[in-house]
Amino acid sequence: MALLSSLFQSGSSKTFAHGIYPVEHKELTADKPVRRLPFAPELIIPLAQHKGAPAVPLVRPGQEVVRGEPIARAEGFVSVPMHAPATGVIRSIEQAPTAEGPKAEALVLRVYEAASQQVLYGAECDPLALAPEAIVRAVQEAGLVGLGGAAFPSHVKLVAPKGRVIETLLVNGCECEPYLTCDHRIMLEQHTTLMRGIHIALHATGARRAIIGVEDNKLDALRHLRAHLPSDGRISAEAVRSKYPQGAEKMLIKALLGREVPVGGLPADIGVAVYNVGTLAQMGELLPKGQGLIERVVTVSGPGVERPGNFLVPIGTPVRFLLDQVGLKETAGEVILGGPMMGMAVASLDVPVTKAVSGVVVLEREDQDLAARHIYPCIKCGDCLRACPVSLNPSLLGELAAARQYQTMAAEHHLDQCFECGCCAYVCPSNIPLTQYFRIAKAINRDIQRRKEH
Ligand code: SF4
Ligand code: SF4
């Protein structure tokens, strides 16, 4: 008990300004250990499931592949390869539905039911004996991306931009989105691979130290990690306040280091690299085996799910198959990939789980009715200003969006600083879908910019 209260006192004050406290709903799955599910009969593997250039197929329809074998290569430095998530045969390369909406090119893999699905592909190595550049190459070859949802190629962040030095590695164990508990379970169940992954990232970046930031609603995970910290003293674990969006890179840096990333800059500009716990656990798991990323932990939860839990899911598993395994209630409504704050509602259950999908949340139909509430005029209450973690004026931006002044929003009111966290829309008593407005405004501005350049 004494330990518990000291953790609260020492850690819970660490946070950033503004933000919100949404209902967490984590009790549905927080105590559910990660379980492997059966393989779906077919896996859909989009070639563009990471930031950067899409991967290029190395296989053709009709070709047999074994689990773990590379099936698409990276196209350039900011790109990653894909590996076969199961043993089977490539049925086709076709346009398949994606969570983002438009169809995109994907490899469709028919899974051999009778195959053992043991991963035999890969050559063992000691990553800590490699030169930093070789680790960067190995991380790219493993197809690793940010598993917290960003899907940014992990090897890119291991290389400091010219003139910069990475001094501190921040390990993100916040998991601030409601419902999601996959990172919580990873911290509890995979501390060995997590610590190994942190050491590999420290070695590759040359950073002096790593700090694992854990929200204080997961003190069991914090205690567990502290009990398993390596003796070299380079890794520590600290509590941060459970507040949304504490897991956003800039907010975590503010909370743990008290430093600000310059406007328009990157964490590397202040000597910091931020990695999600799941990403580093995979780095620690895959690199010593010379294997690629073929599965990830996904939380399937929400009031519309019969048997919520945390599952080890092969990349490419259709959401429909996943939901069949956990059962849907009659009242099930909208299905969201990711968390309810920053995730994406999907129009089709045929979309696959990609490397970016940390959760599948199923709401109830009545939640949707609430979401579709009547929109009232802004009453200038200022709640959205108090919620915005990057100190924008969402009320003013909302008015400009309604007046279609999209370019003014960007040029004069820092629209580009909005990372669509959803805090402003969450607190707005007038139900103004501010985040949605800002997403549209940014898309239109991007389109205008593209047309100018061509
Ligand atoms: S969605 Fe954008 S404007 Fe709204 S609170 Fe988040 S960062 Fe601020
Ligand atoms: S929270 Fe909504 S009603 Fe209040 S100032 Fe912001 S936009 Fe206006």
Whether 75 is covered by a domain: the verdict is no
Tell me what pLDDT residue 340 has: 94
Tens-place pLDDT, residues 1-14 = 333 333 333 445 79
Question: What are residue 449's phi and psi, to 5 degrees?
Answer: -60, -45
Whether 198 is covered by a domain: the verdict is yes
Whether 367 is covered by a domain: the verdict is no
CA–CA gap between residue 105 and residue 349 (Å, rounded): 17
Task: Tell me the CATH number at 250.
Answer: 3.40.50.11540
Instruction: Please tell me the number of Cα atoms within 13 Å of 43 on its side-chain side.
Output: 29
Whether 144 is covered by a domain: the verdict is yes
Ligand 2 site, residue 383, Cβ cutoff 6 A = yes
Using the atom order of ligand 2, give the atom closest to the CA of residue 380: 5
| Chosen domain end from 289, 315, 333 | 289
Q: Which amino acid is at 122?
A: G
Whether 78 is covered by a domain: the verdict is no
Tens-place pLDDT, residues 343-381 = 999 989 999 999 999 999 999 987 555 556 789 999 999
Using DSSP bridges, classify how beta strands 82-83 and 70-73 pair: parallel, antiparallel or unpaired: antiparallel
Q: Where are the beta strands (DSSP E) in 282-437?
A: 295-301, 309-314, 332-337, 344-345, 359-364
Tell me what pLDDT residue 112 has: 96
Tens-place pLDDT, residues 99-110 = 887 889 999 999
If asked whether residues 283 and 408 sit together in one domain, one would say: no
Both tokens assigned to 329: 């209630």
| Chosen domain end from 238, 271, 289 | 289
The DSSP line for 320-338 is HHHHHHH-B-TTEEEEEES
Taking the CA atoms of 348, 51, 384 and 337 in sequence, report the sign of the dihedral they define.
positive
- Tell me how many domains the chain contains: 2
Quick check: bond before 245 cis, omega within 30? yes
Q: Which domain holds residue 135?
A: 2-33+123-289
The model carries a pTM of: 0.93
Query: Which of 18, 421, 426, 437, when mutated, tests ligand 1's pocket best, judged by the most ligand atoms within 8 Å of its CB?
Result: 421
If asked whether residues 251 and 139 sit together in one domain, one would say: yes
Whether 208 is covered by a domain: the verdict is yes
Whether 332 is covered by a domain: the verdict is no
Band of residue 449 on the pLDDT scale cut at 50, 70, 90:
confident
If asked whether residues 140 and 250 sit together in one domain, one would say: yes
If asked whether residues 135 and 25 sit together in one domain, one would say: yes
Ligand whose nearest atom lies closest to the CA of 427: 2
The gap between the terminal CA atoms of the chain, to the nearest Å, is: 64
| Chosen domain end from 232, 267, 289 | 289
Ligand 1 site, residue 432, Cβ cutoff 6 A = no
CA–CA gap between residue 213 and residue 80 (Å, rounded): 27
If asked whether residues 402 and 285 sit together in one domain, one would say: no
If asked whether residues 397 and 278 sit together in one domain, one would say: no
Tell me what pLDDT residue 7 has: 35
Ligand whose nearest atom lies closest to the CA of 409: 1
Ligand whose nearest atom lies closest to the CA of 400: 2
Whether 175 is covered by a domain: the verdict is yes
Looking up tokens 């004050």 gives 13
